Amino acid sequence: MKKNLSKNEILRLLESINDELAQKEIYGEILLVGGAALSLVHNARDSTYDIDGIFEPKNEISDIAQQLSLKHDLEADWLNDAAKGFISPQMEKRVYKEYSNLTILAVEAKPLLAMKLISARQGSSDMRDALFLMKQIPIKTEAELFDIISRYTNPHHQTAKAHFFTKEVFAAYQKEKERIEERER
């Protein structure tokens, strides 16, 4: 079973990567997406199972991550680039944290929402994460969601499954908004 990584654990691991890069006199960069971005940057949750992102220099950071997985009893893929196929150049990002030899960037809320919607994974935290991001943006219409997907994702990821998942998420969002409005009356 995968171990949950808390915000503090994630930060300690990123600091360790920085320390190793500094010892090797190498500068690196990690772009956070998924649960780590939601946890650290958007404060949507307290933990995540892994850190999805893109990192450079890839081989050096991968080697450091492997060493850290053994040292801290983590899954071998605790830092991975499995989401790289979903990241497009149009995605806005910001600097989250700068260490001496490592810059941590994070994808902004709208592109992260687009990624959550096109993943369309039932039984995952994608719906909860999408609802959180929709409130942060805030989303007003279903059409706005499809515009965000169109803007930030590749057309081949815009599947029928993602379309129906997006409709399902928007319906849940509307229902939640109605409940809140009713309570406020």
Q: What share of the chain is helix, strand, coil (3-state, %, to 5)?
A: 55, 15, 30
Percent of the chain with pLDDT over 70: 99
In this structure, what DSSP letter does residue 1 have? -
pLDDT recorded at residue 36:
94
For β-strands 102-107 and 28-33, DSSP reports them as: parallel
Distance of alpha carbon 104 from alpha carbon 97, whole angstroms: 5
pLDDT recorded at residue 143:
97
